[in-house]
């Protein structure tokens, strides 16, 4: 009896070991498959984009066909609209996330707000751009495209990311810290500003940086709002160039100089996103190490 049970256990163990080996092998193959195509994409981006990296890329504006130029106006426009989008979306996101974490847990409205925020977080960016186009460009501006409308569209992308991050980070702060501060007679708003925000600051800043990395490559919202501009412009109430839109326009053109600029802009944009993402992860890692 014991021998039969032992043989059954051995067969069952052998079967599980075989299935585990097959699953592990398939996982490794899938990971290698994905990394191969990722390396291929990065190699193509670097090999083609490096040809257009020079000083004029950052000092000259977008050129006419078959002439030399750069992406200075597009870089400046992207930085300006991304900065305005973050400045608009971050305070609203932190305020909404704070309300959810500190006041909305015990209310049905908090559940509704979280649900709507999740929908906004997963909404396609082109839908947000179309919404801002209808509301701001067509209704408020009378059909005039502008960098301000582009920044508002980007703010709609920043907002749900900051709300989710702030909500999660504040809820991770131990309840004992709140209770200790409140027991000393500290007002609720001071507890939030001086205790909770300080404890969750690294996570909140990380969320803001990740939102910045996301909006820096958005094309569809800016096509409907900022539209684009081949010249250098500082007027936020007028159309303004941006790197994603210039890439979209130049990548499919028949002119070699425009395609080279599109690849160079893609490389610079990828490096910017990489630096911002690494900075966000480094900041969060340092915060974790300091707590440990």
SS (H, E, C) the chain: CHHHHHHHHHHHHHHHHHHHHHHHHHHHHHHHHHHHHHHHHHHHHHHHHHHHCCHHHHHCCCCCCCCCCCCHHHHHHHHHHHHHHHHHHHHHHHHHHHHHHHCCCCCHHHHHHHHHHHHHHHCCHHHHHHHHHHHHHHHHCCCCCCHHHHHHHHHHHHHHHHHHHHHHHHHHCCHHHHHHHHHCCCCHHHHHHHHHHHHHHHHHHHHHHHHHHHHCCCCHHHHHCCCCCCCCCCCCCCCCCCHHHHHHHHHCCCCHHHHHHHHHHHHHHHHHHHHHHHHHHHHHHHHHHHHC
Note the pLDDT of residue 228. Answer: 87
pLDDT tens digit at each of 292 positions of the chain: 467 777 777 788 888 988 999 999 999 999 999 999 999 999 999 999 999 999 999 999 999 888 889 999 999 999 999 999 999 999 999 999 999 998 877 678 888 889 999 999 888 999 999 999 999 999 999 889 999 999 999 999 999 999 999 999 999 888 888 888 888 888 888 889 888 998 888 889 989 998 999 999 999 999 999 998 888 889 999 999 999 999 999 988 889 999 999 999 999 999 999 999 888 888 777 766 665 5
Around Cβ 205, how many Cβ atoms within 10 Å? Answer: 18
**Residue 129, phi then psi, degrees to nearest 5:** -65, -40
pTM value is: 0.87
Answer for the pair 97, 165: CB distance below 8 angstroms, yes or no: yes
Query: Cα–Cα distance between 105 and 98 in angstroms, integer?
Result: 11
Note the pLDDT of residue 2. Answer: 60
Query: Cα–Cα distance between 209 and 216 in angstroms, integer?
Result: 11
Around Cβ 25, how many Cβ atoms within 10 Å? Answer: 10
- Is it true that domain 55-291 has CATH number 2.60.120.10? no
Domain boundary assignment for the chain: 2-52, 55-291
């Amino acid at each position: 009896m014991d021998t039969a049970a032992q043989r059954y256990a051995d067969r069952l163990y052998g079967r599980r070991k075989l299935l585990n080996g097959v699953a592990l092998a398939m996982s490794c193959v899938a990971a290698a498959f994905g990394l191969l195509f990722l390396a291929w994409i990065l190699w193509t981006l670097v090999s083609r984009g490096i040809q257009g990296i020079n000083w004029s890329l950052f000092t000259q504006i977008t050129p006419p066909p078959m002439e030399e130029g750069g992406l200075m106006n597009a870089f400046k426009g992207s930085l300006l609209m991304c900065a305005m989008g973050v400045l608009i979306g971050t305070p609203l996101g932190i305020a909404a996330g704070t309300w959810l974490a500190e006041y909305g847990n015990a209310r049905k409205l908090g559940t509704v707000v979280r649900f709507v925020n999740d929908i906004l977080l997963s909404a396609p960016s082109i839908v947000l751009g179309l919404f801002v186009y209808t509301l701001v460009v067509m209704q408020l501006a009378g059909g005039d495209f502008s960098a301000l409308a582009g920044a508002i569209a980007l703010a709609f992308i920043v907002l749900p990311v900051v709300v989710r991050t702030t909500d999660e980070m504040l809820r991770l702060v131990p309840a004992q810290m709140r209770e200790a501060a409140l027991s000393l007679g500290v007002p609720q708003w001071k507890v939030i500003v001086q205790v909770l925000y300080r404890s969750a600051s690294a996570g909140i800043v990380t969320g803001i940086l990740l939102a910045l990395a996301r909006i820096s490559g958005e094309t569809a919202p800016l096509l409907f709002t900022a539209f684009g501009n081949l010249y250098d412009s500082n007027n936020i109430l007028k159309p303004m160039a941006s790197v994603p839109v210039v890439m979209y326009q130049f990548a499919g053109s028949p002119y070699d100089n425009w395609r080279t600029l599109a690849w160079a802009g893609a490389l610079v944009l990828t490096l910017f996103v990489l630096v911002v993402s690494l900075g966000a992860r480094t900041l969060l890692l340092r915060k974790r190490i300091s707590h440990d």
